[in-house]
Amino acid sequence: MLPTYEAVSGRAFDVVAARIRASPQLVLGLATGSTPLGLYRRLAAGDLDWSRVTTFNLDEYAGLSPEHPQSYHHYMWLHLFRHVNITPARTHIPSATGAGTAFEARIAAAGGIDLQILGIGANGHIGFNEPGSSFGSRTRSVSLAARTIADNARFFDRVEDVPRSACTMGIGTIMESRVIMLMACGKVKAEAVSRALQGPVTTDVPASVLQRHPNVLVLLDEAAASLLSKHLLTS
């Protein structure tokens, strides 16, 4: 546990930067949303060599063009890709127009994901794998949960503008990543974090599957960690 959002972002930066320096051909899984913005701000300002890094994003909304200000394509270019020397052909974002199997094949061809950055929804989702998603699920089109639509309405003018469906990496796909770095900040995530890390492993809480992964680094601020038993916490 770390004291603040900025401390979580700084630690996450240290992890990603060390991995890229150690393995210039790193295959990096990327997340979007509010949580990784501090990490991306640091990466954008850094001097890492991204030219041989390959990236795979977790998810993308259906029905938004890549240029749409709320698309995750746009998010990635705005917050990270345009600031670094990444090779555009090495960036991959799922397309909600289908072809989940092609996305999976690209991950396999790249040798699998070395480090997956992950957030958690207030309802326990990972990527857009909403409660009830199978632990064996692969990259596919999904409907968004009402809670996710409500939570993400803050990025849109009106709640009606939030897409109702998306394409997401599956839980099975995410679990094949060699290392997962889960980031969560704020009181709004405390219950989901508690259920994910110290509750039963259940598809009702997709992130609880991470208890079965051998190599998960969890970065939390104090508020997100506030419902965890003290024995689970290190700094």
Does position 166 bind ligand PGA by CB under 6 A? Answer: no
Measured between alpha carbons, how far is 190 from 97 in angstroms, rounded to an integer?
Answer: 34
Measured between alpha carbons, how far is 176 from 232 in angstroms, rounded to an integer?
Answer: 24
Looking at the Cβ atoms of 23 and 70, the one nearer to ligand PGA is 70
Please report, in angstroms and rounded to a whole number, the separation of the first and last CA atoms in the chain: 5
Q: Which two tokens stand for residue 33?
A: 């949303």
**Residues 35-64: x/- map of binding to ligand PGA (CB under 6 A)?**
x-----------------------------
To the query of whether residue 60 is one of the catalytic residues in this protein, the response is no
To the query of whether residue 125 is one of the catalytic residues in this protein, the response is yes
To the query of whether residue 59 is one of the catalytic residues in this protein, the response is yes
3-class DSSP state of 218: strand
Looking at the Cβ atoms of 107 and 184, the one nearer to ligand PGA is 184
To the query of whether residue 123 is one of the catalytic residues in this protein, the response is yes
Does position 34 bind ligand PGA by CB under 6 A? Answer: yes
Looking at the Cβ atoms of 100 and 119, the one nearer to ligand PGA is 119
Does position 131 bind ligand PGA by CB under 6 A? Answer: no
In the bound complex, what is the minimum distance in angstroms from residue 11's beta carbon to ligand PGA?
A: 16
Q: Which stretch binds ligand PGA (CB under 6 A): 114-122, 133-141, 209-217, 224-232?
A: 114-122
Does position 120 bind ligand PGA by CB under 6 A? Answer: yes
DSSP codes joined into one string, 124-190: S-BTTB-TT--TT--SEEEEPPHHHHHHHGGGSSSGGGS-SEEEE--HHHHHTSSEEEEEE-SGGGH
* Active-site position among 60, 104, 130, 221: 130
Looking at the Cβ atoms of 49 and 204, the one nearer to ligand PGA is 204
| Nearest residue (beta carbon) to ligand PGA | 33
Looking at the Cβ atoms of 107 and 224, the one nearer to ligand PGA is 224
Measured between alpha carbons, how far is 26 from 84 in angstroms, rounded to an integer?
Answer: 15
Answer yes or no: are the C-beta atoms of 99 and 106 closer than 8 Å. no
The candidate with the shortest Cα–Cα distance to 120, out of 200, 44, 209, 47, is 209
Strands 54-57 and 27-30, by their bridges, are: parallel
Does position 121 bind ligand PGA by CB under 6 A? Answer: yes
One-letter amino acid at 168 equals T
Supply the residues annotated as catalytic.
Answer: 59, 123, 125, 130
**Contacting residues toward ligand PGA, per CB under 6 A:** 33-35, 119-121
